[in-house]
Structure 1
C-alpha cells in the first residue's frame, strides 16, 4: 500500500520566490530516493505564497528515510526563515486500502 503525502506551506511576506526555489530544489533528489514514486510542488495561482507538495511513497518507512536525507535536512533549515507558520503534512492512503474502522 503506497502512502500519499500532502505538505502545505505558507510563505512569509516577500519570501514567495525563495520558497518556490527551495521546494523545486527538492524534486530531483527526492525522486532519486528509493521508495519515492512522485514528488511535485504546486502553487495556488490566486495565492502565490500558498504552496503544496504532493508526494507518493512506497510506504511509511520510505517517507521516514526521506526525513533523514541531507537534502531534506537542508530545506528544513531554510524553511524556518521562509514560512509564516510551520508547514503541515497529511498522510493519505487509497480509500479502498483503508480498514473498515478507518472509513467510519
Structure 2
C-alpha cells in the first residue's frame, strides 16, 4: 500500500521572553526542512491577533517522511529550544486529502 501525502498544521504559543531564540531555531529548521526530498512545502505564519502564536503548515510525502524529518538535526535542535519556549502544549494535526473536489 502506498502512503498518502500528509499536511501538518502545528500551532504553538511562545513565552515572550523565549521568543527571539525560538524564532531563530524555527527559521533554521524551516530552511533545512525545505531541502528535504520528501517535503513539498514548509511555512510558518504568525497569528495576526496574537504575536506569540505561530502556525506551521507543512506538506510531506507520507507519515513515514514526517517520522524521518523528526530525527533530523535541524528538527531536534528546534525541538530542544521549543521545550523551554512553549507557553502551552503544541497542537499538531495530520491532515489527509479528502478527494471531495477534483
- TM-score, normalising length: structure 1: 0.85
In 2, the alpha carbon distance for the partners of 1:3 and 1:23 equals 20
In 2, the alpha carbon distance for the partners of 1:11 and 1:30 equals 21
When the two chains are superposed, the root-mean-square deviation of aligned CA atoms in Å is 1.4
User: Cα deviation per residue 1:36-74 (whole Å; 9 max; x = unaligned)?
Assistant: 110000001210100010000011111100001111111
Residue segments in structure 2 that go unaligned for 5+ positions in a row: none
Residue segments in structure 1 that go unaligned for 5+ positions in a row: 98-104
Moved over 3 A (4+): none
In 1, the alpha carbon distance for the partners of 2:18 and 2:58 equals 23
Question: Do 2:21 and 2:81's aligned partners in 1 also have CA atoms closer than 8 Å?
Answer: no
The partner residue of 1:10 within 3, 9, 13 is 13
In 1, the alpha carbon distance for the partners of 2:14 and 2:87 equals 5
In 1, the alpha carbon distance for the partners of 2:75 and 2:6 equals 18
In 2, the alpha carbon distance for the partners of 1:45 and 1:20 equals 16
